[in-house]
Chain A
Amino acid sequence: MSFNLKVSPLDPAQAVVDAIVPAGEPWMHKLSQGQVFRILDLEGNQAVDTLFFSAQDPEEHYSMTHTIQAQGALYLTTGTVLMSSESRPMLTIVADTCGRHDTLGGACSCESNTVRYALEKRAMHACRDSFMAALAHNPYGLHKRDIASNINFFMNVPVTPDGGLTFEDGVSAPAKYVEMRAEMDVVVLISNCPQLNNPCNAYNPTPIRCLVWDAQ
């Protein structure tokens, strides 16, 4: 699963949701089965840390390990089925003009920033704080325990055959997008990443655009 580029036929003018999510903000939205969800990278190489929960049973969530295991491969692109912790398809990626998305790199946190960059970086903004902020007001009963390993849309984290892990320059660019069809009713939780310590976004977190179309 790698660089399976596919352009979407959907027209933004027909979208039922069209929202700009600024850098550093969480965004939560419920999708119905059959709806199509697009995330658009407005300025390029923006990390979009994304989790999905079953709307019927929020204890069922997107699972990195189930998704990797089901496709026997690490990267996400057109055709990848995003699997739940109960081994059920949650969403299918149906269009992708970027070609590769990461699910190994997780979400930044204040605590992991102290490890990765410097103990003095604790106060800098991080995705898991955005997740916690969203959880503090969520109507679904979600808890820290439910924050599983996420997807990083538009991020490129290649694994080498000898087991090295690197954060490469992004393969995304302004206006590239990824689009997925909900296979069940799901709650989307995004942290539009505020990371300022990593060159993967050119040290410049930028806004994204989220669109939803009803079942075609």
Chain B
Amino acid sequence: MPMTFADLPPLARAAVPATSTAYSPELVLWNELLAGGCHWSGLLRRGNTLRLTDVSGSANVSALFFNQEEKTERYNIPDTLKAQHTAYLTQGHVCYSDMGRILCSIPLDTCGWHDTMCGVLDSATLEKKYGQALYQTHRNAMHRSGMDGLLIELNKWGLGRRDMNGNVNFFSKTSANAQGQLQFDRAHRAAGQYVDLRFEMNVLVLMSAAPHPLDDAPSYAPGDVQLTAWRSGTAGVNDPCRLSCPENDRGFINTERWFL
């Protein structure tokens, strides 16, 4: 039998809390609004949870995650999908790095499906789809592609296009038919839906709230996203994300070893 959490030395087991803490207003550390189409980056420390809320039911959040202590370690789509036998993300899933560790977990999700296969739009494609809207003519209503938004944020941390290796698109659902053709589901989103990202490592988070690349809405109208961070603690011994598959039990062991 492969080694599990129960086989770890007592000190390693003792480093894991009994449970993490659910949201309550007195635990909140900060709030911020990420306006539709805009971009953001920051450090989310191990043991804090970031709640993303789709304010109007029209948001998309393209997100990248890096281990802030060793930034060549980053979110890895194939490792995340393969380990959990899924083609999308929701409650009970975790986001894996390329080093077999869990950057963040998803203990709660009222949306139910987050795409992580379609990437972001670049500026030329965004302009072809929605027309040109430069700062000179549109001021803060200008369009900026998900690609450019994320590249701007990457460069703030000494990173760049080489570090752009596949993102999550929170709140966006794209499903595949038997031929593999993808369909964007506009009816999937609703105002007030939220997803919790519980950070299991110290993670550099970069986000763009530009439209999803396969969103077939004819006009450019990306929705706002409320960001709420609170002190939750990390996944507990019997956390549903840890228990959702044997792979995640091992992923948490790898992650927790980084901090022993």
Residues on A lying within 8 angstroms of B by beta carbon are: 1-2, 59, 63-66, 68-69, 72-75, 85-87, 104-107, 109, 111-120, 128, 143-146, 148-149, 158-167
Taking a contact as CB atoms under 8 Å apart, the answer to whether A115 and B250 are in contact is yes
Name the residue in B100, B120, B167 with the highest tally of chain A Cβ atoms < 10 Å from its Cβ: B100
Chain B residues with CB under 8 Å of A161's CB are 175-178
Partner of B182, one of A64, A72, A149: A72
Q: How many A-B residue pairs have CB under 8 A?
A: 147
Which A residues lie within 8 Å of B139 (CB)? none
Question: By DSSP majority rule, is chain A's interface helix, strand, loop, or mixed?
Answer: loop
Are A112 and B165 in touch, CB under 8 angstroms? no
CB distance from A27 to the nearest CB of B (A): 21
| Bound-complex Cα distance A120 to B163 (A) | 30
**Residue in B2, B86, B113, B214 whose CB lies within 8 Å of A165:** B86
Main SS at interface, chain B? loop
Q: Is the CB of A119 within 8 A of B79?
A: no
Chain B residue with Cβ nearest A59: B162
CA distance A31 to B198 in the complex (A): 44
Contact, CB under 8 Å: A66 / B96: no
Q: Which of B13-21, B26-34, B70-78, B218-226 contacts A (4 or more CB under 8 A)?
A: B70-78
**In the bound complex, do residue B100 and residue A111 qualify as a contact, i.e. CB atoms below 8 Å apart?**
yes
B98 with A120: CB separation less than 8 A: no
What would be 28 A-B contacts, judged by CB atoms less than 8 Å apart? A1-B180, A1-B181, A59-B161, A64-B77, A64-B166, A66-B119, A68-B119, A69-B119, A69-B214, A73-B182, A74-B182, A87-B125, A104-B81, A104-B87, A105-B81, A111-B98, A111-B254, A112-B82, A113-B100, A115-B96, A115-B247, A116-B83, A118-B3, A119-B253, A158-B180, A160-B87, A161-B177, A165-B87
Given contacts A68-B118, A115-B254, A159-B87, contact A143 B100 (CB under 8 A): no
Contact check, A119 vs B85: say whether CB atoms are below 8 A apart: no
CA distance A159 to B82 in the complex (A): 11
Q: B164: CB under 8 A from chain A?
A: yes
Interface residue B136 (Cβ < 8 Å from any Cβ of A): no
Is B182 within 8 A of A87, CB to CB?
A: no
Give the nearest-CB partner of A63 in chain B: B119
Q: Check: B213 CB closer than 8 A to any chain A CB.
A: yes
- Closest Cβ of chain B: how far from A112's Cβ, in Å? 5
Q: A59-B161, A65-B120, A106-B82 are in contact. List 17 more A-B contacts (CB 8 A).
A: A2-B179, A65-B167, A73-B182, A104-B77, A104-B117, A105-B78, A106-B77, A106-B78, A109-B99, A114-B254, A116-B83, A117-B2, A118-B2, A144-B72, A158-B180, A163-B87, A165-B82
Taking a contact as CB atoms closer than 8 A, the residue among A73, A111, A146 that contacts B180 in the complex is A73
| Residue pair B83, A164 in contact (C-beta under 8 Å) | no
Tell me the B174-218 residues at the A interface (CB within 8 Å).
175-182, 213-214
- Return the 3 tightest CB-CB contacts between A and B, nearest first: A106-B78, A65-B119, A111-B100
Say if the beta carbon of B149 comes within 8 Å of chain A: no
B residues less than 8 Å from A1 (CB atoms) = 179-181
> How far in angstroms is the closest Cβ of chain B from A72?
5
**Among B72, B118, B179, which residue has its beta carbon within 8 angstroms of that of A65?**
B118
A149 with B165, Cβ < 8 A, contacts A72-B214, A112-B83 known:
yes
Expressed in whole angstroms, the minimum distance between the Cβ of A160 and any Cβ of chain B is 8
| Interface: B65 (CB within 8 A) | no
State which residues 86-134 of B face A: CB under 8 Å: 86-88, 96, 98-101, 113, 117-122, 124-125
Cross-chain contact A85 with B213 (CB below 8 angstroms): no
B60 to chain A, nearest CB (A): 14
- B residues within 8 A CB of A85? 161, 164
Given known contacts A1-B180, A65-B118, A111-B98, A165 and B85 CB-to-CB distance under 8 angstroms:
yes
Tell me, yes or no, whether B36 is within 8 Å of chain A by CB: no
User: Which of A63, A74, A106 touches B176 (beta carbons < 8 Å)?
Assistant: A74
Tell me if B251 counts as interface (CB < 8 A to partner A): yes
Q: Are A107 and B78 in contact (CB under 8 A)?
A: yes
From A162, which residue of chain B is reached at the shortest CB distance?
B175
A163 and B78 contact, CB distance less than 8 A: no
Q: Which residue from chain A places its CB closest to the CB of B181 in the assembled complex?
A: A73
**Which residues of A lie under 8 Å from residue B113 when comparing CB positions?**
163
The reply to whether A146 and B99 contact each other, CB–CB distance below 8 Å, is: no
